[in-house]
Amino acid sequence: MINNKIRYALVKGDKTYGQITDELLLNVEQKPPLWWFAGMTIGTILLAIGGWAFYMSLSQGLGTWGLTNSVAWGWDIINFVWWIGIGHAGTAFTIFFLVFRQKWAGSINRSAEAMTVFAVMCAGLFPLIHMGRPWLAFFILPYPNTRLLWLNFNSPLFWDVLAISTYLITSIMLWYMGMVPDLATIAQRTKNKVGKFLYGMFSLGWNGSLYTYSRYETLMKILGGLAAPLVISVHTIVALDFAVSVLPGWHATILPPYFFVGAIFSGFAMVLTLMILFRKAFNLYDYITEKHLDNIAHVLKFGSLIIGLAYVTELFTAWYSGVDYEIYTFFRARATGSFSVAFWIMFVFNAVIPQLFWFNKARKNLIILFLISIVINIGMWFERYIILVSSLAEDFLPSSWTHYSPTMVDIGIYLGTFGLFTCGMLMFVRYIPIVAVNEVKPIARAEKLRKQKAQDHEH
């Protein structure tokens, strides 16, 4: 079944179940280390900055942002798409590796999903706050009303509302359901009465019986099945916001697949960043091995190739279309004009630098891995910047061309989402096992069996 010669160890060391439980619950059961408090402080400061920026936007109006009559979406939507992209990877991790039976993802799932949940929450803030009248945000929901008002089903923004809210709910369900057995374990072990009550409550009466396990497995499969199309739909629909429009650089059918791959790409980069940090912080070297990181690097390399292909395809179609506006947007505004710096940052960071992962040495070097994961996320931010701003700032009529630059409030909101994400992730690592204990145990067991078999074979 498993060929030892090819397969590598997914969980290192010869560990007993007890050992695994002890090691993986360490982050919940130990007192939080100093860096955790430092992180929380920074996160809270960022949140406070975000709170100020939110307050300014709500109390004064969107004039506090850098938007203009021509560039009516700026940092708000760039950051929205960026966070949505990051929020893509967690669920994708679970789902696709489930489908492809890639067991190695087992030890990364949990934190990737946590990342998804917080990233989508960050993303979700933007469509809300970018409205001129956010207090009327409920207008955008299909609710029956006496005024017989209904929504415009032609608008991709409405599809967005449905796609993102469905995705968020499903992601939370998947994440939460996945951790139920672990919560039960914690509840059993903890001495703290409050903790026991809360963990017990959230473990939904998990008793570890085969019957429970069977139901649990079924539920996870159903949720996985539900989430799989959503992973694809959410970012393609975000892409449709652009593709459905008439603007040069937006009006392109390549955008949905391009956005989808971009999202996976940036999400995996963020997973890589977080995994490198987590395994160091919680001594998870045995569970998140170099091989895991190596695998992610391979995925990134592949993603980078597709992204590069998409960039080149866009340029080609612009040229091949012969449409002046498209040619201007891609070859003048983006590649050589006012946006060329951002364009080449995007191109090099996303399509060129990750190609270093062809080299074994680069994949094995933690520092390079970490740096490239950050570079990709910066590159992906610039990709969204290029798509959004260059098409809006220099569109059809040169008379309305403008420059765009963010204000302190724009930056504040972005920093605030970092605060939300940081605090969210830190709370997560404080109260919930980073690696899914219940998923790792069978993997470790399989590992053990395999080793035994191999030893038997030798004898």
Partner 1 sequence: MEKKYWKSLNELQITEQQQADLHAEDGQDRSMVEILADEANNKSSSRRDFLKWCGISFVSATVLSACENPVKKAIPYLNQPETLVPGKASYYASTYLNGNEYCPVLVKSRDGRPIKIEGNTLSGITKGGTSARVQASVLSLYDTGARYKTALKNGEETEWAEVDTNIVEKLKEISDRGGRIALVTPTLLSPSSKALIEEFKSTFAGVEVIAWDAIPYHGLRKAHENLFGNAIIPDYRFDKAELIVGFGCDFLATWLSPVEFAGHYAERRRLSQEKPEMSRHIQFESMLSLTGASADERVPVKPTEELKILLALHDQVAALAGQAGIGAASVDYDVESLARQLMENQGKALVVSGSSQAEVQMLAAAINQMCGAYGTTIETTTPLMIGMAGDNAFDNLLNDMNQGNVDAVMFYHTNPVYHHAATEKVISGIEKTTLSISFASTKDETAKVCQYILPDHHYLESWGDAEFKSGHYSLLQPLIQPLFKTRQFQDTLLAWMGKDSDFHAYLKNRWQNNLMPLQSEFNEAEIFWIKSLQAGVLEIQPNRGQAMNFNPAALSEIAGKINNRIASAAELEFVIYPSLSLADGHDANNPWLQELPDPITSVCWDNFAAVSPATATSLGLAEGDLIRINEKTRVPVLIQPGVAAGCMSIALGYGRTHAGISADERGGNAFLLNTNRLFSGEVSNWEKVGGKHEFARTQTHFSMEGRAIVRESTLDKYQQDPAAGNELHKYHEKHKTTLYPAQEFEGHHWALMVDLNACTGCSTCVIACQSENNIPVIGKDQVRRRRIMHWMRIDRYYTGEAENPGVVFQPLMCQHCDHAPCENVCPVAATTHSQEGINQITYNRCVGTKYCINNCPYKVRRFNWYEFATKEEFNTHTTTDLGRMVLNPDVTVRERGVVEKCSFCVQRIQEAKLTAKNERRLLNDGEVKPACAQACPSNALVFGDLNDPESKVSKLIKDPRNYHLLEELHTLPSVGYLTKIRNPRT
Beta carbon nearer to partner 1, 174 or 393:
393
Q: For partner 1, give the closer residue by CB, 243 or 345.
A: 243
Phi-psi region of 387 (alpha: psi -120 to 50; beta: other; left: phi over 0): alpha
Report residue 285: phi and psi, to 5°.
Answer: -55, -30
- Interface residue with partner 1 among 247, 376, 386, 432 (CB under 8 A) is 247
Would you count residue 398 as binding partner 1 (CB under 8 A)? yes
Amino acid in position 376: I
Q: Which stretch binds partner 1 (CB under 8 A): 117-125, 181-189, 354-362, 401-409?
A: 401-409
User: Segment contacting partner 1 (CB under 8 A): 111-119, 157-165, 375-383, 426-434?
Assistant: 157-165
410 binds partner 1 (CB under 8 A): no
Please, which of residues 116-135 interact with partner 1 by CB under 8 A? 127, 130-134
- In the region spanning residues 341 to 360, those forming contacts with partner 1, defined by CB under 8 A, are none
Question: Cα(234)–Cα(91) distance, rounded to whole angstroms?
Answer: 11
Q: Are 301 and 357 in contact (CB under 8 A)?
A: yes
324 touches partner 1 (CB under 8 A): yes
Among 395, 410, 439, 447, binds partner 1 (CB under 8 A): 395
Distance CA 76, CA 406 (A): 10
Which among 99, 117, 97 has a CA at the least distance from the CA of 107? Answer: 97
Out of 400, 408, 411, 431, which residue is the one contacting partner 1 (CB under 8 A)? 400
Q: Is 444 in the site for partner 1 (CB under 8 A)?
A: no
Binding test (CB under 8 A) with partner 1, winner from 155, 165, 166, 188: 155
Buried b (16+ CB within 10 A) or exposed e, 127-164: bebbbeeeeeeeebeeeeeeeeeeeeeeebebbbbebb
Interaction of residue 402 with partner 1, rule CB under 8 A: yes
| Residue closer to partner 1 (CB basis): 235 or 441 | 235
- The smaller minimum CB distance to partner 1, of residues 245 and 355, is found at 245
| Binding flag, residue 146, partner 1 (CB under 8 A) | no
Segment 17 to 76, residues that bind partner 1, using CB under 8 A: 60-63, 66-70, 72-73
136 is a site residue for partner 1 (CB under 8 A): yes
Shortest gap between Cβ of 128 and partner 1 (angstroms)? 10
Q: Measure the CA–CA gap between 33 and 267, rounded to whole angstroms.
A: 27
Q: Is 156 in the site for partner 1 (CB under 8 A)?
A: yes
If one asks whether residue 327 binds partner 1 (CB under 8 A), the answer comes out as: no
Nearer to partner 1, 270 or 392 (CB): 392
321 part of the interface to partner 1, by CB under 8 A: no
Residue 277 touches partner 1, criterion: CB under 8 A: no
Total residues binding partner 1 (CB under 8 A): 50
Nearer to partner 1, 212 or 245 (CB): 245
Structure tokens at 326: 């498209």
CB of 78 to partner 1, least distance (A): 13
Verify binding: residue 408, partner 1, rule CB under 8 A: no
Q: Which is closer to partner 1, CB of 156 or CB of 195? A: 156
Toward partner 1, which CB reaches closer, 394 or 439?
Answer: 394
Contacts of residue 349, Cβ cutoff 8 Å, sequence gap at least 6 = 375, 376, 378, 379, 380, 382
Candidates 36-44, 48-56, 110-118, 243-251 — which segment interacts with partner 1 by CB under 8 A?
243-251
**Contact pick of 328, 330, 357, 428 for partner 1 (by CB under 8 A):** 328
Residues 160-199 that bind partner 1 (CB under 8 A): 161
CA distance 88 to 117: 9
Residues that bind partner 1 (CB under 8 A): 60-63, 66-70, 72-73, 127, 130-134, 136-137, 139-140, 149-152, 154-158, 161, 241, 244-247, 324-325, 328, 392, 394-403
